[in-house]
Amino acid sequence: MPTHLLPGSEKRLPANARDMGEADPGERLEVSVLLRRRDEAGLSDKLGALAAASVGAATLSRADFAAAFGADSADVAAVEAFARGAGLAVASTDMARRTVILSGAVSDFNKAFGVSLRRIEHPFGTFRGRTGGIQIDDSLAGRVTAVLGLDNRPQAQPHFRRAGDALAAAPTAFTPTQIAALYGFPDGGGAGECIALIELGGGFKPADLAAYFAALAITPAPSVKAVSVDHARNAPTGSADGPDGEVMLDIEVAGAVAPKAKIVVYFAPNTDAGFVDAVTTAAHDAVHKPSVISISWGSSESQWTSQALNALNEAIQAAAMMGITVTVASGDNGSSDGVAGADHVDFPASSPFALACGGTSLRAASGAIAVESVWNDGTAGGAGGGGVSAVFETPAWQSGLRATRVGAASAPLAMRGVPDVCGDADPETGYKVRVDGSDTVIGGTSAVAPLWAALITLVNAHRGAPVGFINPTLYTHATALNDITAGDNGDFTATAGWDACTGLGSPKGGAILAALSAGGPASR
């Protein structure tokens, strides 16, 4: 019987869940075992230097990163030996991703990790769940940092909001190219670059993409490829209100703004294991080599186990260290992030190595921005996520900033502030898209993550090299953004300078290009 509690692995059942008894002991599953990084101290030093650097700071190639900070062969051997003794099979091993995937039956995993997997019913559906912590064998203590996938409850939600069908032709809705023009994005199309999109459900129909891009007179249509992670695939549901809306929004925004870039969509199960595996797969993909990863899914920091949160944060750290920019939607439920009680922020947007993307409501006149304010349509309509992390310390590039609550004086930022930047997200001033054969309008911060990803892709193409981790540079070039000073997202209000609703502001495309072109090339 395993005897070591895996730190941070404790789970509770969500509210309104019902335990329906033991999970089928013969059910087959796969579990991702994550290992410690080789030379943790060395990577910590490099990450600290990166967080204090400007664009162009030295990063590592994928091969060099894997060699320096991937898994140690002795740790992999220990997991393989443990698996043999526990009656589990090793399905795959990836040294760069520090991931060993084990397969077996529920009964075998129960014994191997000291858990009791249960059949759980919840309003969002039935899942395989557990409570308490995971126990690991003596031989794995200190080597294993996370065991993900025993529990397959949904980990994240897509951050999009759909406008009423009557708004599809409304003058307040925009095509992505019109949004890019209003923000002054540079031209060029992003040739030679690759954008990775992380999707935890749903899918796209090539016929819809062909019709959409043809209607925008984008020819040839952008190259879009699906990659399967943990056996998930491109699987359209046929409903624009489901995850298809997220998938199509991401592809159409990114593809319209950077039509010459290659778009690779990484489909993974909506579990903690699937989320982590999708990001690590994209970051270490030496075939497609994305220079930007866009994530429009997430959930409140309070909804994550420490082991899963740390694993995904480390994946984003690795991406930054390899010169990859990670843009993440900050959520659509304002300062509460949809959780009752105190304020919450969304993760992975709160990762200090992510570019957290908040939301605005944008009105235009005569081809220019007329008014831009914080997106807040109330509890039923959604609002841009933002606030102060309960997990991550204040990064160096946010030192000295203050957060202002509605009706209160500003206070020093005590922890990581969210978001970093923003863009149009209000569904009433949203994006004209095509989903499952129908034209509609969608908003939400889900649109802002691919919008910024596309902008960075254009910048990368102009530079001839990826900008990588841009947060420190952006915070020293605040005039490259439109400062949003009107509105609130619930408990936080917009102010001059950075705020916990819209971050530094929305992009001035040409100024962003100039600010991010000052540094030298980064490694691919």
DSSP 402-466: EEEBTTS-EEE--EEEE-SEEEE--GGG-EEEEETTEEEEEESHHHHHHHHHHHHHHHHHHHTS-
Q: Give the integer Cα–Cα distance in Å for 505 and 501.
A: 9
Percent of the chain with pLDDT over 70: 97
What is the per-residue pLDDT for 455?
98
Percent of the chain with pLDDT over 90: 89
Which residues of 3-94 form beta strands (DSSP E)? 4-5, 18-22, 28-35, 89-94
Average pLDDT along the chain: 94
Q: Give the integer Cα–Cα distance in Å for 71 and 93.
A: 10
Q: What is the mean pLDDT of residues 56-69?
A: 89
Q: What is the mean pLDDT of residues 480-492?
A: 98
Asked whether the CA dihedral 90, 92, 96, 99 is positive or negative, the reply is: negative
| From 230, 246, 272, 314, active-site residue | 246
* 183 close to 480: Cβ distance less than 8 angstroms: no
Q: Where does the pLDDT of residue 164 fall: very low under 50, low under 70, confident under 90, or very high at 90 and above?
A: low
What is the per-residue pLDDT for 190?
98
Identify residue 361 by its one-letter amino acid code.
Answer: S
Residue-wise pLDDT for 410-462, tens only, equals: 999 999 999 999 999 999 999 999 999 999 999 999 999 999 999 999 999 99
Q: Give the integer Cα–Cα distance in Å for 133 and 12.
A: 9
> To 5 degrees, how large is the angle CA 265–CA 270–CA 275?
65
φ and ψ of 42, to 5 deg: -65, -40
Q: Is 446 a catalytic residue?
A: yes
CATH fold, domain 157-516, is: Rossmann fold (3.40.50)
Question: Distances in Å between the alpha carbon of 503 and those of 383, 420, 488?
Answer: 14, 4, 12
Question: Distances in Å between the alpha carbon of 15 and those of 12, 18, 37, 123?
Answer: 9, 9, 35, 10
* 296 close to 47: Cβ distance less than 8 angstroms: no
Residue 171 has pLDDT above 60, yes or no: no
Residue-wise pLDDT for 228-282, tens only, equals: 999 999 999 998 888 999 999 999 999 999 999 999 999 999 999 999 999 999 9
Asked whether the CA dihedral 18, 23, 28, 33 is positive or negative, the reply is: positive
Which residues of 106-139 form beta strands (DSSP E)? 118-122, 125-129, 135-136
Identify residue 287 by its one-letter amino acid code.
Answer: V
Number of helices (H) and strands (E), helices first, in the chain? 13, 29
What is the per-residue pLDDT for 524?
45
Residue 522 has pLDDT above 60, yes or no: no
DSSP string, 355-387: EEEEEEEEEEETTEEEEEEE-B-HHHH-B---E
Residue 1 has pLDDT above 80, yes or no: no
Residue 505 has pLDDT above 50, yes or no: yes
Burial of 409 (0-12, 13-18, 19+ CB in 10 A): exposed
What DSSP designation does 497 have? S
Residue 373 has pLDDT above 90, yes or no: yes
What is the per-residue pLDDT for 168?
45
Quick one: which H or E segment has residue 104? strand 99-105
Residue 480 has pLDDT above 50, yes or no: yes
8: Cβ–Cβ under 8 A, 6 or more apart, which residues? 146, 305, 306, 307, 309, 310
Residue-wise pLDDT for 106-125, tens only, equals: 999 999 999 999 999 998 88
CA dihedral 292, 294, 300, 306 (to 10 degrees): -40
Identify which has the larger pLDDT, 164 or 284.
284
Q: Give the integer Cα–Cα distance in Å for 151 and 128.
A: 5
What is the per-residue pLDDT for 240?
81
Q: Give the integer Cα–Cα distance in Å for 173 and 217.
A: 18
Q: Give the integer Cα–Cα distance in Å for 163 and 165.
A: 6
| From 446, 491, 499, 506, active-site residue | 446
Q: Where does the pLDDT of residue 52 fall: very low under 50, low under 70, confident under 90, or very high at 90 and above?
A: confident
Residue-wise pLDDT for 302-311, tens only, equals: 999 999 999 9
Residue 15 has pLDDT above 90, yes or no: no
What is the per-residue pLDDT for 167?
43
Q: Is 246 a catalytic residue?
A: yes
pTM given for the model: 0.97
| From 94, 193, 250, 301, active-site residue | 250
Residue 30 has pLDDT above 50, yes or no: yes
What is the per-residue pLDDT for 340?
85
* 520 close to 53: Cβ distance less than 8 angstroms: no
Where do the CATH 3.40.50.200 domains begin and end in the chain? 157-516
Q: Is 410 a catalytic residue?
A: no
Beta carbons within 10 angstroms of residue 92's beta carbon: 12
* 177 close to 254: Cβ distance less than 8 angstroms: no
- 99-105 vs 118-122, strand pairing mode: unpaired
SS3 state of residue 467: coil
Q: Where does the pLDDT of residue 379 fall: very low under 50, low under 70, confident under 90, or very high at 90 and above?
A: confident
Identify residue 450 by its one-letter amino acid code.
Answer: P
What is the per-residue pLDDT for 519?
54
* 332 close to 385: Cβ distance less than 8 angstroms: yes
Identify residue 180 by its one-letter amino acid code.
Answer: A
What is the per-residue pLDDT for 165?
44
